[in-house]
Every structure is written in structure tokens, then in C-alpha cells.
């Protein structure tokens, strides 16, 4: 991907080229997409090997696991379990608090971009979807992404009223995670159905509009320390908007904000929107080096 000579929009860039990036002095480097994919594959390889040959490094699934003996429990699973059974075993409390503290530090929805196995599949689906849209074979459909808060609430209410973890029947993340650790299941056909909806109907629909796991991590992201930071090297080319499937968080990059910034002499700002997954795609494609990862611990305290 040569973002300095061509705008690295979805249309201008092949999928494979997004795995390599360049510095402005021409050196090649791995893109954040590559780093994320390596991490996701490594995490799930550890799940698989811990079960298959009993290496006991990362046992369980993304719903609940033990990493070198430390319990880690998905926050939304804990909420569902409590509402369904009114019980919270001590290991679940410890595991959930561990995860909350971890994501307060590394960024709420970084789970979606750096851990979730469905996110990786969904990125491939996104590329196919965008290609079909560019060739005018299908239309791009978008909805109000605030609908995700409605799904979040509905799945919790269903746990409370039914006494079951209803969402787990539909949870593509849990289904994939169990498949990787323990093997084939017919529930994978649901994952395929969701992926096909994303390819032919709406870009990243599960992640953007439905998944209550991502929504929960988004709530943590509002006050998490790791964020993307924007600076005024930006020339408002809007390439970052083009590649970001949650581009409502990138309003900050639009030229219309310049006057307010000039008045207040602001040269840097954090992207604080809860929907940002910290995937780093915007950093990968920015030709002006106007975006970077940063910690905002100071400004939080
Ligand atoms: S941050 Fe600014 S310069 Fe960089 S890709 Fe986005 S709009 Fe373009
Ligand atoms: S703003 Fe950047 S890091 Fe956040 S979701 Fe969009 S592309 Fe990814």
C-alpha cells in the first residue's frame, strides 16, 4: 500500500496490499491490520493447543477462559448469567473485574479489532462487500448505529425473563471461539449466514448494529486510556473516513472543525467516540501522519 503516492481508499487498494505499510521515508513496515491478525490467530491457536494437546496456557473460550491460571470472563456473559440465575460465582467476579481493568487500559472496543475471531472474518466479508458495491452489483445499506443499544438491552431483558442466556444461541463470537477450541458444530451455519448478510446486505452489520459484546466494550471505551490521537498535520483528505466502518467517530477530521480549533489554538485531539475499535486502519492509510495511538491517562486523571 503506497499511501504517499495514491490515496489508500478501499477502491484504490487491494486487500493484500493493506497488510504492508510505508513510512514517509519509503521504508516498508507491517500494517496494524497484519499485527491484529497475528494477535487474533495467536490467541485462538493457544485456545486450540491448550485443549488439543493440553498445554494449559489459554484454556476455555472467549466467553470464559483461564490464561496461565488467571480467570478472564466476558463482561456481557457475566451480565446475562446474573440476570438469568441471580448467581455470580467468585471466579466469575474475579474474571470479569480482570477483563474490565484490562480494557480500561488497552481501550474498550480493541476487543473487536484485536481479539474477536469473527472480526477477522468480517474484514474479509467487508472487502467483498465493498468490491460488489464499487462494481454496482449491490447497494450499500446503512442504518442508525444507535440500534445496537436496543439489541444490548433486549438480550439482557431476554436473559432476565427466560432464565437462559438467549444471546449465546446467536453469538457468532462464542460459536466461532468454541469451534476453534473444540471442533465442528452445526451452529457454524449461523456464522456463515451472518457473514453473507454482511457481504450482500450491509457492511459489517453484526459488528456495527447488533453485537452486544462490542457494545459493552464500547461503554468501557468511553473512559479507557488507549485512544487514537489526531493532530493538525491533517489535510482533511477523508481517506480515513473511507476505510473506517465506524467513521462517525472520525468527525474530528472534517475541515468544518478548523475554525473552532484555531480560536482555541488546538493542535491535537483524542478520538473519544465509544465506537472506535482501535483497529489502526485510519493510521495505516493516513498520508499525513496525522493519527497515532496514544494514552490519555493524564487527561483522564
Ligand atoms: S487524518 Fe486527515 S490527512 Fe489523515 S487520512 Fe484522515 S482526513 Fe486524511
Ligand atoms: S477511527 Fe481508526 S482505529 Fe477507530 S475504528 Fe475507525 S479506522 Fe479503526
Centroid of ligand 2 to alpha carbon of 31 (angstroms): 14
Residue nearest to atom 8 of ligand 1 (CA): 237
- Ligand 2 atom closest to the Cα of residue 250 is 1
Q: According to DSSP H, which parts of the chain are helical?
A: 32-52, 75-85, 90-106, 110-114, 117-134, 147-162, 167-170, 172-182, 188-200, 205, 212-221, 239-243, 258-264, 281-285, 297-300
Nearest CA to ligand 1 atom 5: 286
* Cα distance between residue 41 and residue 49, in whole Å: 12
C-alpha cell at 169: 444461541
Q: Which atom of ligand 2 is nearest to the CA of 281?
A: 7
Instruction: Compute the distance between CA of residue 234 and CA of residue 293 in angstroms, rounded to an integer.
Output: 15
CA of 185 to the centre of ligand 1 (A): 43
Ligand at minimal distance from the CA of 226 is 2
286 lines ligand 1 (CB under 6 A): yes
Ligand 1: distance of its center to the CA of 289 in Å? 8
174-208 burial code (b ≥16 CB/10 A, e <16): bbbbbbbbeeeeebeeebeebbeebbeebbbbbbb
Which residue among 9, 32, 235 is best mutated to probe the pocket of ligand 1, counting the most ligand atoms within 8 A of its Cβ? 235
Taking the CB of residue 99, how many other CB atoms lie within 10 A of it? 21
**From the CA of 7, which ligand is nearest?**
1
The whole-number average pLDDT for the span 58-67 is 90
pTM exceeds 0.85 for this model:
yes
96-124: average pLDDT: 95
Residues with CB under 6 A from ligand 2: 228, 244, 246, 249-250, 271, 276-282
Q: What is the pLDDT of residues 154-188, one digit of tens each?
A: 999 999 999 999 999 999 999 999 999 898 889 99
- Closest residue CA from atom 2 of ligand 2: 282
d(CA 232, CA 226): 20
**β-pair type (28-30, 20-22):** antiparallel
| Residue range 34-62, pLDDT digits in tens | 999 999 999 999 999 999 998 889 998 89
- Predicted confidence at residue 56, as pLDDT, reads 86
CB 271 within 8 A of CB 227: yes
Q: Which residues neighbour 248 within 8 Å (Cβ) at sequence distance 6 or greater?
A: 145, 273, 275
DSSP 28: E
301: confidence class by pLDDT, cuts 50, 70, 90 = low
Task: Please identify which residue in the block is written with the cell numbers 474474571.
Answer: 95
Under 8 Å between Cβ of 243 and 8: yes
Q: Which ligand 1 atom is the nearest neighbour of the CA of 291?
A: 1
> Per residue in 204-225, pLDDT tens?
999 999 999 999 999 999 999 9
CA distance 1 to 30: 11
Q: Round to whole Å and give the CA distance between 168 and 80.
A: 9
Amino acid at each position: 500500500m503506497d499511501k504517499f503516492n495514491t490515496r489508500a481508499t478501499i477502491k484504490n487498494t487491494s486487500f493484500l496490499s493493506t497488510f504492508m505499510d510505508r513510512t514517509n521515508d519509503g521504508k516498508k513496515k507491517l500494517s496494524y491490520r497484519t499485527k491484529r491478525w497475528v494477535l487474533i490467530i495467536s490467541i485462538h491457536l493457544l485456545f486450540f493447543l491448550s485443549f488439543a494437546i493440553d498445554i494449559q496456557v489459554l484454556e476455555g473460550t472467549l466467553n470464559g477462559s483461564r490464561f496461565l491460571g488467571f480467570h478472564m470472563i466476558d463482561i456481557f456473559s457475566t451480565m446475562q448469567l446474573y440476570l438469568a440465575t441471580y448467581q455470580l460465582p467468585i471466579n466469575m467476579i474475579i474474571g470479569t473485574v480482570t477483563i474490565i481493568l484490562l480494557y480500561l487500559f488497552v481501550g474498550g472496543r480493541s476487543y473487536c479489532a484485536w481479539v474477536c475471531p469473527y472480526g477477522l472474518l468480517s474484514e474479509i466479508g467487508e472487502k467483498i462487500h465493498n468490491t460488489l458495491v464499487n462494481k454496482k452489483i449491490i447497494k450499500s445499506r446503512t442504518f442508525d448505529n444507535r440500534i445496537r443499544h436496543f439489541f444490548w438491552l433486549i438480550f439482557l431483558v431476554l436473559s432476565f425473563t427466560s432464565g437462559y442466556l438467549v444471546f449465546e444461541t446467536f453469538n457468532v463470537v462464542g460459536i466461532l471461539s468454541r469451534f476453534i477450541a473444540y471442533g465442528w458444530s452445526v451452529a457454524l451455519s449461523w456464522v456463515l449466514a451472518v457473514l453473507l448478510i454482511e457481504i450482500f446486505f450491509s457492511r459489517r452489520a453484526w459488528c456495527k448494529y447488533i453485537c452486544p459484546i462490542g457494545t459493552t466494550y464500547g461503554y468501557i471505551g468511553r473512559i479507557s486510556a488507549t485512544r487514537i490521537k489526531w493532530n493538525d498535520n491533517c489535510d482533511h483528505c477523508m481517506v480515513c473516513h473511507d476505510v473506517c466502518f465506524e467513521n462517525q467517530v472520525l468527525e474530528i477530521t472534517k475541515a468544518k472543525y478548523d475554525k473552532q480549533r484555531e480560536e482555541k489554538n488546538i493542535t491535537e485531539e483524542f478520538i473519544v467516540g465509544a465506537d472506535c475499535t482501535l483497529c489502526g486502519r485510519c493510521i495505516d492509510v493516513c498520508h499525513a501522519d496525522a493519527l497515532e495511538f496514544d494514552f490519555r491517562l493524564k487527561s483522564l486523571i
